[in-house]
């Protein structure tokens, strides 16, 4: 019996409701702490009104078209079993062990276009992706195998994708898998602290912690309980690893982003501020103010000093950094965001291929392949949507039985 089916058989109380909708007794909850100087904003921005997307199409039609082409490319690359195949292209990039992660990223990119109508191909693609992830889930909630030393990245990213798909489709299968996946994140987290590669090994780092935190916050937005002690620990940890200049370190204050030894010289981490941007995003999502002239404001200045630039020969392409920073600056607003978004649009316009994808030419492209690169490029551009402050979401799609995933 597949592990996912066994899990649902023996733990039926984890089922979130009838197929096709979140259950009536689960209410969508939002971060409760307001951000001084600006209203809090959603982690996912799923299912919000269409106005932000319409406005981007009016004000920046080339960027809106780039998003559409990127999403079209992702849709066309989904496998018949529902996954996105990390190493399935002919460019030699990507590793099959990361199919879990790129499937999560693809789901997130598709879902951030908002609630999907039943007739949309995007909805069917999300449901198929959710079904594949659910079948990979182990009895302890882990998504995929524990096949690499950094398997937790794949799990956390896929958990974020499940939360997004649950918000955009109302899928009960997504909700069931999401709740178990969040449960695994808590068993992996260090007691009284945050996350790194191995379960409860006493090590912590900002990179893993960012993906895990975003996954837990997104789960909370769709009514799946995430442990409050984890959020308290994240706040404490990120303050500890942020220095007086506002730079958030990888594992210690002021430390640059991590690189695989084989790529460190090709992609100098000093070209970006990925961990600083990640820290700002998480801390603001957890309710900390971006209005005060403190460490977060200093961190924003560091980020703005290193805008996107499509210079692959100089090792300056860093799509993960651009995504984190674009999301952090969406929360911060101000004139600095306008300059960043101009640079982002120019960089990603220069890098997009005729088929709508982006090449795997950043620090992690050889791991995630062109699917990783394209999903993150789309996600960074979607951060240009001017998402309104938190407000009631539109109702989930009607709770009819879902057709079986194909």
How far is 325 from 12, CA to CA, in rounded Å? Answer: 40
pLDDT category of residue 5 using cuts at 50, 70 and 90: very low
**Is residue 66 exposed (0-12), middle (13-18) or buried (19+ Cβ within 10 Å)?**
buried
Contact present, 62 and 75 (Cβ < 8 Å): no
SS3 84: strand
Length of the chain as a residue count: 406
The model's pLDDT over 31-60, given as tens digits with 9 standing for 90+, comes to 233 333 334 456 777 755 567 778 888 889
Please tell me the predicted confidence (pLDDT) of residue 260. 80
How far is 131 from 177, CA to CA, in rounded Å? Answer: 9
- Asked if residue 320 has pLDDT above 60, the reply is yes
- Ordered DSSP codes for 105-144: HHHHHHHTT-PPPTT-HHHHHHHHHHHHHHHHB-TTS-BS
∠ at Cα 368 (349, 2), nearest 5°? 135
Please tell me the predicted confidence (pLDDT) of residue 402. 45
- What are the boundaries of each domain within the chain? 3-11+35-382
Please tell me the predicted confidence (pLDDT) of residue 47. 56
For 269, other C-beta atoms within 10 Å of its C-beta total: 19
The model's pLDDT over 228-258, given as tens digits with 9 standing for 90+, comes to 999 999 999 999 999 999 999 999 998 988 8
- Ordered DSSP codes for 215-255: HHHHHHHTT----HHHHHHHHHHHHHTB-TTSPBPSSSTTP
Residues 166-176, mean pLDDT to the nearest whole number: 95
Residues 358-387, mean pLDDT to the nearest whole number: 92
The model's pLDDT over 122-132, given as tens digits with 9 standing for 90+, comes to 999 999 999 99
The model's pLDDT over 59-73, given as tens digits with 9 standing for 90+, comes to 899 999 999 999 999
Fold of 3-11+35-382: Glycosyltransferase (1.50.10)
For 309, other C-beta atoms within 10 Å of its C-beta total: 17
How far is 186 from 333, CA to CA, in rounded Å? Answer: 32
Please tell me the predicted confidence (pLDDT) of residue 20. 32
Please tell me the predicted confidence (pLDDT) of residue 14. 25
pLDDT category of residue 390 using cuts at 50, 70 and 90: very low
Contact present, 215 and 156 (Cβ < 8 Å): yes
Please tell me the predicted confidence (pLDDT) of residue 141. 98
Question: Regarding predicted confidence, which is higher, 379 or 16?
Answer: 379
């Amino acid at each position: 019996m597949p592990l996912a089916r066994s899990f649902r058989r023996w733990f039926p109380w984890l089922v979130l409701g009838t197929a096709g909708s979140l259950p009536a007794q689960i209410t969508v909850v939002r971060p409760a702490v307001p951000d001084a100087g600006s209203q809090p904003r959603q982690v996912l921005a799923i299912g919000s009104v269409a106005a932000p997307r319409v406005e981007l199409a009016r004000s920046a039609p080339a960027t809106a078209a780039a998003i559409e082409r990127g999403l079209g490319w992702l849709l066309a690359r989904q496998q018949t079993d529902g996954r996105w195949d990390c190493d399935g292209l002919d460019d030699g990039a990507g590793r099959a062990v990361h199919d879990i992660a790129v499937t999560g990223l693809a789901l997130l990119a598709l879902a951030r276009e908002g609630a999907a109508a039943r007739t949309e191909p995007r909805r069917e693609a999300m449901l198929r992706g959710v079904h594949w992830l659910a079948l990979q889930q182990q009895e302890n909630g882990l998504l995929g195998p524990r096949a690499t030393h950094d398997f937790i990245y794949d799990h956390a990213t896929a958990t974020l994708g499940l939360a997004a798909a649950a918000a955009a489709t109302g899928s009960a299968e997504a909700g069931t898998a999401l709740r178990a996946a969040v449960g695994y994140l808590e068993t992996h987290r260090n007691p009284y602290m945050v996350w790194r590669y191995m379960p409860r090994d006493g090590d912590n780092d900002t990179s893993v912690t960012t993906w895990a935190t975003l996954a837990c916050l997104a789960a909370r937005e769709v009514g799946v309980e995430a442990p409050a002690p984890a959020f308290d620990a994240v706040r404490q940890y990120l303050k500890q690893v942020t220095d007086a200049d506002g730079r958030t370190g990888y594992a210690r204050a002021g430390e640059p982003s991590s690189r695989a030894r084989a790529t460190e010289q090709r992609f100098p981490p000093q070209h970006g501020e990925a961990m600083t941007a990640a820290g700002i995003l998480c801390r603001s999502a957890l309710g900390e103010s971006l209005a005060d002239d403190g460490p977060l404001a200093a961190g924003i200045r560091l980020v703005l000093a290193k805008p996107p630039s499509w210079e692959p020969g100089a090792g300056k392409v860093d799509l993960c950094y651009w995504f984190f920073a674009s999301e952090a600056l969406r929360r911060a607003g101000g004139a600095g965001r306008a300059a960043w978004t101009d640079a982002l649009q120019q960089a990603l316009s220069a890098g997009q291929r005729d088929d709508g994808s982006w090449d795997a030419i950043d620090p992690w492209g050889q791991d995630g392949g062109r699917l990783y690169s394209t999903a993150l490029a789309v996600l960074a551009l979607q951060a240009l949507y001017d998402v309104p402050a938190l407000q009631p979401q539109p109702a989930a799609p009607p709770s009819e039985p879902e057709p079986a995933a194909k």
